[in-house]
Chain A
Amino acid sequence: MNRTKQNVRKIALYAGLILIALVQLFPLYWLFTFSLKDNMQIFTTNPLGLPNPYRFENFADVLQRGQVASFLLNSLLVTTATIAVSTVLSTMAAYAIARMKWKWSNTALLFFLMGMMIPLHATLVPLFIFLKRTNLYDTPFALILPYVAFAIPMAIYIFVGFFKTIPAEMEEAACLDGMSIYGIFVKIMVPLIRPAIATVAIFTYLSCWNELMFAISFISKPQWKTLTVGIMGMVGMYATNWGALGAGLVVATVPTLIIYLLMSGEIQKSFTTGAIKG
């Protein structure tokens, strides 16, 4: 092929890729910069440039007056509890389904997998009424309980896949040593599927941390609001103070970005593993 023609194509390819990268990144760049500006800069003097001067007061403001620190803690509590409980429940169930011998194991798997197709919306009203009647409404449990339940199907699906790849000799050896089935599960099998647990934990983290519909329906007390609900409330509070709202949005995003920067490979794997169900 003609060399110049090849070069032109290469330049066009990179130009296209960079253009799309700009479309993806520029809104986020704008968010990060306006979170450090005052309205004057955002609206007229300096809407697109780097902040000058930097207004770190915006962050101090949302963390104290805007209660974002409390929202962060609530999100952290709900997400951590969900990951912990759903991991314990799903590894146990997946072990029984994948390794133990009983007639209904396949039926049980199909039953759980059905959950992967069910939208949260179909359970909204009954869960709302249930939570109101049991006084769990407006407590962290109102979110942890449904989040755990909806995390179970995907987790079981992935864990079953991993448990099935482990050779039977591992269990047999432990069994001959006189270990009980519970010992085998806790000491041998769970450590072997640690990579899968990381994958599932990341996926669960992202879906809980970002969930909106249950969070706005089941929590109304400011004291228990998670980040997504809290941000919705901040819109009214900071309607005329864009910088502070921007700071709130940045605070809500930074934990996820840090996790992403530390383990982007793991995160991308968690998305693709979940998709390979054909």
Chain B
Amino acid sequence: MDKVLRDRRAIAIFILPALLVFSSVVILPIAFSGYYSLLEWNGAGKSTFIGLSNYLEMFTNPSTYFVKGIVNSALLAGLSVFVQIPLALGLALLISHGIRLEGFFRNVYFIPVIISTTVIGQLWMKIYHPNNGMLNILLTDLGLAALKRNWLADPSISLGAAFFVLIWQYIGYHMLLMYSAIKAIPTSLYEAAEIDGCSKSQLSRHIAIPLIMPMIKVCVTFALIGSLKTFDLIYVLTKGGPIHATEVPTTLMFANIFLNYRYGMGSAMAIFILVECLVLTVFVQRFFKVENYEF
């Protein structure tokens, strides 16, 4: 048996195809991105080596809007962590304590997650339409016509309008993750606490939340990284406009590559996004210490 499991040829046959595809399509291109980020290059003609100038430019030249993009994505990260996750946790706690229609509510909150962000973006573009959109029509019908806005064209509110959709779409995702963690807690723990006279809110505060901390940590990590990587929805809804009000690092990267043909600058932004994701993951793992419980 041992000899069979140590068969080197078999190991190579099993592992090499995946290793080859993964290394050449995911890892190797990163090295290339790193190299391109040091060039001034339009993708077709000759390239010039310019060292770290792209990085310097994206942080110091305001007309790249990169700093603004980072600030916007940080705002989104803050919204996700401090608004979306607490709301999702509240929902998960409420529907996990044996209410009627538990499955119905869980499914309804989760459904937007599985729909393509491209579809969601097109849909909300219509919802936010100033004259014929659902939102303004609904506001008029409710007697709140004073709140009507040109949601995506007004630079002072377009960012909020776009972020609302992201929170709306993914709240069910975090709800589901925390819900499943709550459901994994043995009911005997609840029963013991109830016998001791714990109320529902005490059960949540002293039993459920501390025990699902590892999952909350996963949600925070996903929310942070998701915010830094966010692209689809902003690209579909506003492409970073109006007048760059909703730019995020990924939309700027995309525009630099495919609109301005600045492959070097686009690659520098891509490398920055990569580093940001890695650093934040490590940071959350390090500084968000939680106890793991085995049931």
Partners in one complex: yes
Contact call B235/A212, Cβ cutoff below 8 A: yes
- Known interface pairs A25-B108, A242-B132, A278-B218; A122-B114 also in contact (CB < 8 Å): no
Main secondary structure of the interface of B (DSSP, over half): helix
Chain B interfacial residues counted at CB < 8 A: 93
Chain A positions within 8 Å of B13 at CB level:
92
Give the contacting residue for A150; candidates B7, B26, B124; CB below 8 A. Answer: B26
The A-contacting residues of B in range 9-60, CB under 8 angstroms, are 10-11, 13-15, 17-19, 21-22, 24-30, 32-33, 36, 43
Chain A interfacial residues counted at CB < 8 A: 94
Main secondary structure of the interface of A (DSSP, over half): helix
Give the contacting residue for B258; candidates A25, A153, A217; CB below 8 A. Answer: A217
Chain A positions within 8 Å of B25 at CB level:
123, 127, 145-146, 148-150
**A-B contacts, CB under 8 A, total:** 258
Contact call A253/B26, Cβ cutoff below 8 A: no
Most buried by A among B4, B107, B168: B4
Binds A, one of B74-82, B154-162, B203-211, B274-282: B274-282
B134 adjacent to chain A (CB < 8 Å): yes
Q: How far is the CA of A89 from the CA of B124 in the complex (A)?
A: 38
Hey, which bits of chain B sit against chain A, CB under 8 A? 1-2, 4-8, 10-11, 13-15, 17-19, 21-22, 24-30, 32-33, 36, 43, 91, 94-95, 99, 105-119, 122-124, 126-127, 131-132, 134, 137-138, 141, 168, 172-173, 176-177, 180, 214-215, 217-219, 222, 225, 228-229, 231-232, 235-236, 250, 253-254, 257-258, 263, 266-267, 270-271, 273-274, 277-278, 281, 292
Q: A16-B94, A257-B111 are in contact. List 7 more A-B contacts (CB 8 A).
A: A20-B91, A92-B14, A119-B225, A130-B29, A152-B18, A213-B235, A272-B176
Could you list 26 A-B pairs, sorted by A, with CB under 8 Å?
A17-B95, A48-B134, A89-B18, A95-B14, A119-B228, A119-B277, A124-B257, A125-B33, A125-B267, A126-B30, A127-B29, A129-B43, A145-B21, A145-B25, A146-B25, A180-B4, A212-B236, A217-B258, A245-B122, A253-B116, A257-B115, A264-B107, A267-B114, A272-B176, A275-B177, A276-B218
